[in-house]
Chains A and B, each alone.
Chain A
Amino acid sequence: MASLIKTHYKLAKTAIKENRTRSFLTCLGIAIGVASIILILSLMGSVSNLIKKEISAIGSDLIVVRPSTTKDTVTSIVEELTASSSFQKSNLALSDTATISEIEGVSAVAPIALSTNTISSDKNTLPAVTVMGTTLDYSKIEPLAMKHGAFLTEANAENGVVLGHMLSLELFNTINSTVGKTVTIMGEKFMVIGVLDETDQSINFDNVDFDNAAIVNIVTLDQITDSTQIQQINVKAENTDSLARISTEIREKLIEKKHGDQNFTVAYGDAITHPAGSLFNIISGMLALVAGISLVVGGIGVMNIMLVSVAERTHEIGIRKAVGASSRNILMQFLFEALILSVLGGIFGLVLGYIFAFLISIITPFAPYISLEIIAITFLTAIVVGIIFGIYPALKAASKNPIDSLKHYR
């Protein structure tokens, strides 16, 4: 049996070598599909790596509460995609913050509410700017580096605003002398009390692009807009040992308060990395779908070329059967050929995908993410595609009648 497998492998190799161009083009089809999957996996991996890095910088004593709306159904995903704002409806309320802060061992609680508003200064008016509402505790949990001025304090909590680096530039065409100036959000005047340093981290666990955001007090934000949705509540524990206890307690207290509503998640440690509630998951899901489709198209290419190969070699099949090959032998011969084609395509795609990932890393912060899992997935998909699309041509070859095949002369 082992020697037969070796023979099948050798035969397939010769057959592929003999039709170099054809085999290469077939491999290319698979390679493109595999490359796009690699690219997506690499991007997703590098995104969660970025967030992991950020969390380890903040400290490991962080607990995050996120609303988890009924996002698993297709309709809600479509709803979310078609909604005018990119923020989801939340079942977390401002009062939850108080509930959490009562728990023993919690040192700071900061909710994050997001809304999209028009901001105007005396120079420019910017539509659709992310306005983040939070509490003063926020800087205790995650101190943001300031370029000028200060973060929200008790003194200016009501009508102060902290601007992102890019936002400041766009509103006032400068970042240097903006502190003390006024901006208008929803008709309400706010004084700029600080400008953030450039973060260059559009992907983070808060799901806020701080370079382009304005930060105000959550109470004020709630008053001027009636659509504030709390996206996340960040909780800082006094020490890391009690993380598990605190998160269970948060969960229990919130369920009790919400009369059994369990549509939220409490996460700490590595579980935080998944940026729930962002478009990111949906977009990467869509991309994966497209990649999957291209892989299927590649697989159809393999099937097509195998069918051609079987037809071309009908006579050979006849000879082989006449000298003693069983249908199974013939099946294996052609299945091996399809498998080798798709695995070659897989290897090719792996390389191609990482070349793309590397090119993307030049212009974005997403470094190529290489892991054993990704490589394993690649080979597994290649093998599965090879078998799925190779089995039909191979069966066709195996079922050929030796007498008719021998008559089939080229």
Chain B
Amino acid sequence: MEQKVSENIIIELKGLTKKYGYGDTESFALKDFDLTIKRGEFIMIMGPSGCGKTTLLNIIGLLDRATYGDYNLNGENVAGISASRQAKLRAKKIGFIFQNFNLIEDLSILENVALPLVYTGRSKTSRLKSASTALKRFHLQEKEYYLPYQLSGGQQQRVAIARAIVSNPEIILADEPTGNLDSRASKAVMEELSAIHKEGNTIIMVTHNPALTVYATRVINMLDGAIDTDIKTVSDANLPQPVSVKIVKKLPEPKEPKKRKKRKNSRRKK
């Protein structure tokens, strides 16, 4: 059992430091940051503005690089990889959700959701099919050919979530996903994220709203580029796991939803 859990480590950060400026203007967004994230965790990162939350998220999301330190993603050291390799990993393994939705306004909802698949080299039909399936999950199928501005904020954020999960990523990163939403839309979005998490997805979310921590399995408070408090509300053994992993554990009837087929393969590799 112990071994199973340690195998489940998806992200490992060691001595991660992000430095801005030199000499007198030198400042640290992250300082000697260590963090281990297991599959199935729903982590909420909180803390005052400027404590390095977003920098951390950008580094985990391979949009940014640490000045030094180690970053292991799925056992691969990705701290010093090329920009094009970063892009490839972003397309395959990481889903982003932003505060301001960040949908491309000239593209239809369907095309927006299919966007990450464009860069994995899949054919157009297969891309749009996957995107359509993802949208169906969020009950937005009839809006497929709408443009982003024709949707409400909550709907747009759900489109963005669909975009984040369409390529079956290893981790989903959300930077204040409810920051621009009213409480009702906010609750809807959190319910969706929670549902995705219960399917065994790993989610890292930055938020300012303490009320949302009820959805999390682990709450990290950051201060000045380091971890202040780190509280786990769910034990590692009880983290939701992807269906394929659960099967290995319990060996019940071989019931698999079609949608998560691809995840299974990547899991077995480990």
Contact = CB atoms under 8 A, between A and B. Distances in A.
Given A321-B63, A326-B119, A316 B104 contact: yes
B83 A322 contact: no
B119 A328 contact: no
Contacts of A6: 124
Contacts of B24: none
A307 interface: no
A326 B58 contact: no
Interface string B98-127: 101011101000000001101111111000
B39 interface: no
A320 B119 CA distance: 9
A7 B111 CA distance: 11
A408 to B, nearest CB: 11
B122 A326 contact: no
Contact of B87 (A1, A15, A18, A327): A327
Contacts of B115: 319-320, 323
A11 to B, nearest CB: 9
A403 B102 CA distance: 12
B90 A324 contact: yes
Contact of B116 (A324, A402, A406): A324
A403 B175 CA distance: 12
Interface string B58-74: 10010110000000000
B84 interface: yes
Top 6 nearest A-B pairs (CB, nearest first) are A324-B91, A326-B87, A323-B116, A324-B119, A324-B90, A326-B84
29 contacts: A1-B121, A3-B121, A3-B124, A4-B119, A6-B124, A7-B118, A14-B106, A318-B102, A319-B102, A319-B103, A319-B104, A319-B115, A320-B104, A324-B116, A324-B167, A325-B87, A325-B91, A325-B119, A326-B87, A326-B88, A327-B83, A327-B87, A328-B84, A329-B119, A402-B63, A403-B63, A403-B64, A406-B102, A409-B100
Interface of B: 58, 61, 63-64, 83-84, 87-88, 90-92, 94, 96, 98, 100, 102-104, 106, 115-116, 118-124, 163, 167
Interface of A: 1, 3-4, 6-7, 14-15, 18, 315-316, 318-329, 402-403, 406, 409
